[in-house]
Amino acid sequence: MTHSAVVVGGNRTPFAKAGGPFAEASNHDLLTSALDGLVARYGLAGQRIGEVAAGAVLKHSRDFNLTREAVLSSPLSPATPACDLQQACGTGLETTIYIANKIRLGQIDSGIAGGVDSTSDAPIVVSDPLRRTLLKANAARSTKDRIAPFARVRPRHLKPQAPSVAEPRTGLSMGEHQALTTERWGITRDEQDEIAAASHHKLAAAWEDGFFDDLVTPYMGVARDAILRPDTTIEKLAALRPAFGGPDGTMTAGNSTALSDGAATALLANEDWAREHHLPVLARFVDAEVAAVDHPGGDDLLLGPIAAAGRLLARQGLTLDDFALIEIHEAFASTVATTLKAWDDEDYCRSLGLDSKLGTIDRAKLNVTGSSLAAGHPFAATGARIVPTLAKLLQQKGPGSKGLISMCAAGGQGVVAILEAV
Amino acid sequence: MSILEKAFYSPVGKAVSAKAGLKEPARLRRGRTWPEGPIVLASIGGGTVGAQTLELLGRAAESPIVDDGDAAPGYGARIGALVVDATEVTRIDQLEELRALLRPAVRAVEGSGRIVVLARPAAGDWESRSVARALDGINRTVAKELRKGATATLIRVAPDATPGDLVSSLGFVLQGRAAYVTGQCWTVAPGGVAVESLAETPLDGHVVVVTGAARGIGAAIARTLARDGASVVAVDIPPAGEQLAAVANEVGGTALQLDITAADAGATIAAHVAQRGESIHAIVHNAGITRDKMLVNTDAARWSSVLDVNLAAQLRINEVLLDPATEGGLADGGRIVGIASTSGIAGNKGQTNYAASKAGVAGLVTAMAPDLVDRGITVNAVAPGFIETEMTGKIPFVQREMFRRANSLDQGGKPVDVAETIGYLIDPDSQGVTGQVIRVCGQALVGQ
């Protein structure tokens, strides 16, 4: 027995640059705020929801039960269970898949998927030698034994370690990886700056239209995405110095996402349950696929979503032409450009085990209200930003309209999902 | 708090101001509470609507002490309220009977006690109409002479209005909900609804839309109406969303982030309500802004923004919600409440735009009310005086203290006082109250 899982709506905080207005807010604070706004929008105060699944990429060890604790801080019934889930930048979409699947199996009638990241409030850890010393001292029985381990501590051990966004197996940062991909696929600086400028302009227009009035709730006095630059131009972006790929690199701070703070949530439900509870039914969750590439073996780190999309479309018997709207997460402008190029590359697609290339798309269908370059990218939150946004856009397009979400994630992974307006 | 303000409220400051004749304001009885002492009922000329209404309210009534002109009359103990049924008073010599009832009662009434006179709307011959107006003068003066937070109210009961029609009004006035309403007069017409008693939670199962609900008076309205059972749709501009969400969650309602001046604001509100399978019982147009400047410095932008938010937006939204074709619109038997202001009634230096908008609201409700009687929809306004809010907290201290005390209760009102009056107006049992502007101002010295 399978049920229909639908997106009811969503809520997120505005997103802001790391060290900006949300610098003092923790993951717990941000996620709770996003839940508060969601509860208020749909009148869920005191209600028990089937399950809340959310996660954070940068997480303090004290936040082992981050989502459950946020639920307890929210107006939801304390009888609402929660779990933490993490799949790097794909987290917010993976939590959506998790909740939707439980709804489709009839295990729950309603659920909230979400994600949060505070790069401002990132955990700082001590070096491994110092950590081992502290653990040893803690386990010692006598004062002497407690003091002895510290004799081996050296000044260099005292340097705190901030989390890095480097891939553990290659030692390269995500930007350095993508710089290799950008060069390999021959993506030009112009193309990247064009994508970045368009992202800002489309997001700004959507804010002006009031599109986000029922998708975002202000937080700490910030009412709109703080990274957004409505007046940016291709010319201004062209003046920026390269940030990745050496002096001749084409990737800049303007066409790469900024480290961000923010949280996002999506309310999902069994379609019948949503109607019985007089909640909006924006779009049905159709299907999803996750894939991975061998980046330590030399594959492009952020092209994991290509195989995921190919396998998903094949399973559903769909082509790119069947989609009214397409959301490609803008980790970098060049991620979008390479994804589009890879979709249309017969050899590359076949090398992934797909029957054929996926083809091309009408650019007018792509990221129509902007994406991560303009909004910002609090890692785990982005998927839960895109899901309600796309669901609302599809509903406006009319019943049957389909949308595709493609998200790249660290570890060479890709998460892809399909929504369809009801 | 300024140094001056701190000094004023210090023990020394209080002692000095007491010597200077400034009274420590009384703590007002608030909420759904009845007077502590007995309710005394008197009738002049044999009217019975007062007695019957008190019976429906379940309040026992005692007989009055009448001043016979010889000995100084006294109740011996405090009384909670005096209700005078003066619905049969049409002659000047009958006013002496009222004096004889009021004299002992004004002396004996407890703190936050009530003097309530029930009368007819002006009608009949010259003398009768003159007497009707004389009662107004008496009410306003008694309100000024009462002390310790006691209030006086004149309710005009239309001749064919029943005791049931009067229940919600007399209940409101006697209870602490009317704490900051004094010296006022309004009319209760026949409502055609059978009312047997005063409801504790009259808004159970009713959807009420409150604009400007994120803070101050709007948040108090949301809380008070939710206490009375309403399912609240809390509306405010998107930048106020965080506080709005907190209010909506606190009252178990829903938050709708919306700029009420948007062309589709009415449709958006209706769609939000329709989505939930409901229709609106009441809309409270509380959202308002000020852009104060002396008229000589008031430009077109200051003028239009205030008139658009405070007045024009209401008109546009009402039009959409009143269209029977609008799903999620205002139900027949519904309620519309606007917020006028003493500034609109009396005028206020530096507020031409605001006074225009607020007087406009008062004009709007009196204009709309008769046209909607057939659909059972009532349209009223409340006119707050000086209310203690974040906004009035920004007025410089000396000026604020003057505003605060320039009324018969020697204090500013609280947001909840405005909210309680709105709750009374949108009570389904207040069917006969329409086209009224009720001031919640402690009988401010300015204005009517």
Find chain B residues with C-beta within 8 A of A262's C-beta: none
Find chain A residues with C-beta within 8 A of B275's C-beta: 278-280
User: Any idea which of A134-148, B55-69, B138-152, B428-442 has the lowest mean pLDDT?
Assistant: A134-148
CA nearest neighbour of A219 among A2, A1, A406, A16: A16
pTM of the model: 0.92
The domains located in chain A, with CATH, are 174-209+286-421 (3.40.47.10)
pLDDT > 80? residue B214 = yes
Q: Between β-strands A251-252 and A242-244, what pairing exists: parallel, antiparallel or unpaired?
A: antiparallel
In angstroms and rounded to an integer, the radius of gyration of the C-alpha atoms of chain A is 22
- Average the pLDDT over B428-448 and give the result: 93
pLDDT > 90? residue B1 = no
In angstroms and rounded to an integer, the radius of gyration of the C-alpha atoms of chain B is 22
Subunit contact A43:B241, Cβ cutoff 8 A = no
- Average the pLDDT over B67-75 and give the result: 77
Identify the active-site residue in A28, A89, A201, A295.
Answer: A89
A280 shares contact with chain B (CB less than 8 Å): yes
Choose which CATH entry (3.10.180.10, 3.40.50.720, 3.30.70.141, 3.40.50.300) describes domain B39-188: 3.40.50.720
Q: Are B189 and B432 in contact (CB under 8 A)?
A: yes
The upper half-sphere exposure of residue B191, i.e. CA atoms within 13 Å in the direction of its Cβ, equals: 28
- Measured over all CA atoms, what is the biggest interatomic distance in chain A, rounded to whole angstroms? 74
Instruction: Record the tokens describing residue B149, joined without a space.
Output: 């937070």
pLDDT above 90 covers what percent of chain A? 85
Subunit contact A43:B252, Cβ cutoff 8 A = yes
Query: H helices within A292-381, ranges in order?
Result: 304-316, 333-343, 346-351, 372-375
Q: Are B178 and B421 in contact (CB under 8 A)?
A: yes
CA-to-CA distance for A84 and A286, rounded, in angstroms?
23
pLDDT above 70 covers what percent of chain B? 96
CATH 1.20.140.10 holds for B207-440 = no
pLDDT above 90 covers what percent of chain B? 85
* Residue B53 Cα to chain centre, angstroms: 20
CA nearest neighbour of B78 among B109, B111, B117, B33: B109
Q: What is the mean pLDDT of chain B?
A: 94
Nearest chain A Cα distance for residue B415, angstroms = 22
A42 shares contact with chain B (CB less than 8 Å): yes
- Average the pLDDT over A361-375 and give the result: 98
Subunit contact A279:B238, Cβ cutoff 8 A = no
B140-160 pLDDT per residue, tens: 999 999 999 999 999 999 999
CA-to-CA distance for A41 and A181, rounded, in angstroms?
42
Subunit contact B277:A278, Cβ cutoff 8 A = yes
Rounded to 5°, the CA angle B441-B446-B448 comes to 85
The helix-helix angle for B49-56 and B163-174 (nearest 10°) equals 70
A39 shares contact with chain B (CB less than 8 Å): yes
Q: What is the pLDDT of residue A162?
A: 63
- Average the pLDDT over B264-279 and give the result: 95
Q: What is the mean pLDDT of chain A?
A: 94
Q: Are A355 and A233 in contact (CB under 8 A)?
A: no
pLDDT confidence band for B2 (50 / 70 / 90): low
CA-to-CA distance for B334 and B324, rounded, in angstroms?
12
Identify the active-site residue in A3, A28, A329, A408.
Answer: A408
Nearest CA in chain A to B277: A278
Q: Are B33 and B198 in contact (CB under 8 A)?
A: no
pLDDT > 90? residue B10 = no
Nearest chain B Cα distance for residue A22, angstroms = 14
Domain boundaries, chain B: 39-188, 207-440
B326-362 pLDDT per residue, tens: 999 999 999 999 999 988 888 888 999 999 999 999 9
Sheet holding B79-85, edge to edge: B61-62, B39-43, B79-85, B109-119, B151-157, B184-188
A260-282 pLDDT per residue, tens: 999 999 999 999 999 999 999 99
CA-to-CA distance for B245 and B248, rounded, in angstroms?
5
A400 shares contact with chain B (CB less than 8 Å): no
Q: Which of B234, B248, B275 is closest, CB to CB, to A280?
A: B275
Q: What is the pLDDT of residue A163?
A: 64
Nearest CA in chain A to B252: A45
User: Which residues on neighbouring strands pair with residue A11, listed in sequence order?
Assistant: A265
A369 shares contact with chain B (CB less than 8 Å): no
pLDDT > 90? residue A120 = no
Q: Are A340 and A299 in contact (CB under 8 A)?
A: no
Q: Which of B240, B254, B275 is closest, CB to CB, to A40?
A: B254
What single DSSP character describes residue A212? G
User: Any idea which of A139-143, B53-57, B109-113, B130-134 has the lowest mean pLDDT?
Assistant: A139-143
- The identity of residue B225, as a single letter, is L
pLDDT > 90? residue A140 = no
A14-68 pLDDT per residue, tens: 999 999 999 999 999 999 999 999 999 999 999 999 999 999 999 998 999 999 9
pLDDT > 80? residue A161 = no
B207-440 shares the fold of B39-188 = yes
Q: What is the pLDDT of residue B68?
A: 82
Q: What is the pLDDT of residue A126?
A: 73
Find chain A residues with C-beta within 8 A of B256's C-beta: 41, 214
A399 shares contact with chain B (CB less than 8 Å): no
CA-to-CA distance for A316 and A270, rounded, in angstroms?
21
- Average the pLDDT over A352-356 and give the result: 96
- Average the pLDDT over A76-86 and give the result: 98
pLDDT confidence band for A164 (50 / 70 / 90): low
Q: What is the pLDDT of residue B399?
A: 85
Its ipTM equals 0.89
Nearest CA in chain B to A217: B241
CA-to-CA distance for A106 and A286, rounded, in angstroms?
15
Catalytic residue list contains A83: no
A45-59 pLDDT per residue, tens: 999 999 999 999 999
User: Which residues on neighbouring strands pair with residue B228, listed in sequence order?
Assistant: none
Q: What are phi and psi of A115, to 5 degrees?
A: -165, 155
B346-403 pLDDT per residue, tens: 888 899 999 999 999 999 999 999 999 999 999 999 999 999 998 888 888 888 888 8
A292-345 pLDDT per residue, tens: 999 999 999 999 999 999 999 999 999 999 999 999 999 999 999 999 999 999
Catalytic residue list contains A377: yes
Nearest chain B Cα distance for residue A275, angstroms = 9
Q: What is the pLDDT of residue A1?
A: 59
**Terminal alpha carbon distance of chain A:** 20
pLDDT confidence band for A108 (50 / 70 / 90): very high
Residue A14 burial by CB count (10 A; 0-12/13-18/19+): exposed, middle or buried?
A: buried
Subunit contact A218:B248, Cβ cutoff 8 A = no
A36 shares contact with chain B (CB less than 8 Å): yes
* Residue A234 Cα to chain centre, angstroms: 26
Residue B275 burial by CB count (10 A; 0-12/13-18/19+): exposed, middle or buried?
A: middle
Find chain B residues with C-beta within 8 A of A40's C-beta: 234, 244-246, 248-249, 254-255
